[in-house]
Amino acid sequence: MKIHLNDFQRSYAQNRIAFVHDLLSRELGESLRRTALACAENQKKQAGIIDVMCGLYLQDRDEMARHFSGDFESFVRRNFPIHRFGHAGLIPKVMLDQLASDSGEADGVGFSLNYSDDVIRLLWLSERLANAVGKRASLKDMIAAIAIDRDWMDELSRNGLTSSRTLADFDQDIRTIIFHATPHTGEGWS
């Protein structure tokens, strides 16, 4: 289900994501900053679901590999030609270059935290899942939230990533079962 937020709703949600510290775990907050920085360095105006998946992978390769199958390396390279793992992935390249220069000083650099409506919905869904068990949204909550939405999973599949587990699907597993009887099922019927 596609949702469309108005400008006020989007800015309010993004402000909550960026500045309310009890919504997201530290690792998930870092992952979103990695995503926003990689989008900025790759001249993307807004982070979508695919960008967030790349950011999650840049944050924790092992965890993402446990839950999804596919070639993450080429997935990230294709989406973010410019990217960095580790601590360097949280600092704009311009600042890294300035720090590496002889002066040892760095000027301030900023980048936009701009997420698509789908990403905002994903973050709220992951927060809801986490809140239901009394914690902050984490990387695993994001993975669970992604797995709940068929459209997001289909988008990942089109990009070469699939769940490494079989996901229970009530509609497909139960609702598609059709029982019928034919009139020729008596004892004498072979």
Domain boundaries, the chain: 7-175
Percent of the chain with pLDDT over 70: 76
Of residues 1 and 111, more confidence is placed in 111
- Per the prediction, the chain carries an average pLDDT of 82
Q: How far apart are CA 119 and CA 51, in angstroms?
A: 9
Of residues 172 and 40, more confidence is placed in 40
Question: What is the H or E stretch that residue 128 is in?
Answer: helix 117-132
Of residues 102 and 84, more confidence is placed in 84
- pLDDT one-digit tens code per residue, 144-169: 999 888 888 899 999 999 887 776 66
Tell me what pLDDT residue 56 has.
Answer: 92
Please list the residues that pair with 69 across neighbouring strands: 162
Percent of the chain with pLDDT over 90: 26
Q: What is the DSSP letter of 173?
A: I
Of residues 173 and 6, more confidence is placed in 6
Q: How far apart are CA 9 and CA 7, in angstroms?
A: 6
Of residues 4 and 110, more confidence is placed in 4
Q: What is the average pLDDT across 116-142?
A: 89
Domain 7-175 has CATH 1.10.760: no
